[in-house]
Amino acid sequence: MSIKIKNDWTLSVLIGSLRLLAAAVAIQAAIMLSFGVYYFYGVVVLPKIQQQSVAVEIERAAYLKAVDDGLYLPRGIRSGDISSK
């Protein structure tokens, strides 16, 4: 498959549009990197540090819920130390 270019004007327009597209992609990538968000094929991927902090928050919330429900005792407390309600 070959593309036939009739004149230099067509070639300059083609090259100009490719340069504009490359500049737009570079600007978008710079903006996303500055906010710490990466896009791969439309999927948002958080950086590793943010993934770990989200996991820690989820684990902490689950721990506090289990303590509130009486399913898990905080460290340093034995079951004999708690009187029944």
User: Tell me, what's the pLDDT at 5?
Assistant: 65
DSSP, collapsed to helix, strand or coil, labels residue 36 as coil
Q: Compute the distance between CA of residue 53 and CA of residue 55 in angstroms, rounded to an integer.
A: 5
How do the pLDDT tens digits run along the chain, 85 residues long? Answer: 676 766 777 778 888 899 999 998 888 777 776 666 665 555 666 666 666 677 778 888 888 888 777 776 666 665 555 554 4
Residue 60 tokens, joined: 């902490």
Residue 58 backbone dihedrals phi, psi, to 5 degrees: -65, -45
